[in-house]
Amino acid sequence: ERIKSGTVLPITPPPTFPSSSHPLWPEIEHVVQQQVEWARLGLGDSGSGWQLFAEDGEMRMYRREEEVDGMVVDPLKAVHIVKGITGHEVCHYFFSPQYRYDWETTLEQMTVLETISEDTCLFLQTHKRIWPASQRDVIFWSHIRHLPNNQDRDGPDIWTVVNHSTEHKDHPANSGKCVRIFLTVCMLCQTRVIPPKDGTPITRDDISCKITYCSVVNPGGWAPASVLRALYKREYPKFLKRFTAYVINQTKDKQIMF
């Protein structure tokens, strides 16, 4: 139906490693589809409603001011173009638990509560406390997916990671010292390759990755709007710059992972 009506939004193919019997699976399918469509829309026509709040080289970060019950839940969209790395590499380092302490500076502790399948995990994370607010924790499933481009032969493949809050019976929200955060995050990556004209093999100089990072975080408990917005303004650019530099550094002497 979508192909007939000519829209460019992808139909999300089934996952490479089906975990379709897991109780979370219908939600994962739905949220991944929705987040990929939202990320691919970019800023929409003329970027309406999106405020640029940080810019550094190719990186641009936009937010919309939104509050729910007086609590800041500003949606964020960031776009970045990074030379020398692929979307598969970006998503691999973003998804895989073994690298998280290397790049996630606000992290205090990370636990993998469940490995649902090779492409889907359940995480419990506690983050550093910002005085005088209470410490925050979060439980989310994380899913990595390759979306091959079979509709537009010239268009790039997509790799994505989607993180979305969920519950866990052994870790009820707000039962200990932490206030539970709720989040939805999507990292969407498209790789551009310009093969050398002389026919020599593709090197890291010939590739770049367009990253779209979208996030909505509900802080879970009240914190002053000005403090939260100042925190976003400082922490999101810091995260995306540090994380992409980390991927460049990790991959520079390795074979390109397309």
Buried b (16+ CB within 10 A) or exposed e, 50-75: beebbeeeebbbbbeeeeeeeebbbb
Peptide bond into 132 cis (omega under 30): yes
Query: Cβ of residue 43: shortest distance to ligand 16C, in angstroms?
Result: 19
Query: Cβ of residue 229: shortest distance to ligand 16C, in angstroms?
Result: 10
Query: Tokens 């019950």 label which residue?
Result: 69
3 vs 68, beta carbon nearer ligand 16C: 68
85 vs 214, beta carbon nearer ligand 16C: 214
Separation of alpha carbons 155 and 147, rounded Å: 11
Separation of alpha carbons 243 and 128, rounded Å: 18
Contact residues toward ligand 16C (CB under 6 A) are 104, 106, 125, 127-128, 130, 133, 136, 138, 163, 181, 183, 185, 217, 219, 223, 231-232, 235-236, 239
113 vs 130, beta carbon nearer ligand 16C: 130
Cβ distance 143 to 115 under 8 Å? no
Q: Where are the alpha helices (DSSP H) in the chain?
A: 25-40, 87-95, 100-103, 225-251
36 vs 181, beta carbon nearer ligand 16C: 181
108 vs 157, beta carbon nearer ligand 16C: 108
Q: What angle do CA 91, 94, 96 make, to 5 degrees?
A: 100
Query: Cβ of residue 218: shortest distance to ligand 16C, in angstroms?
Result: 8
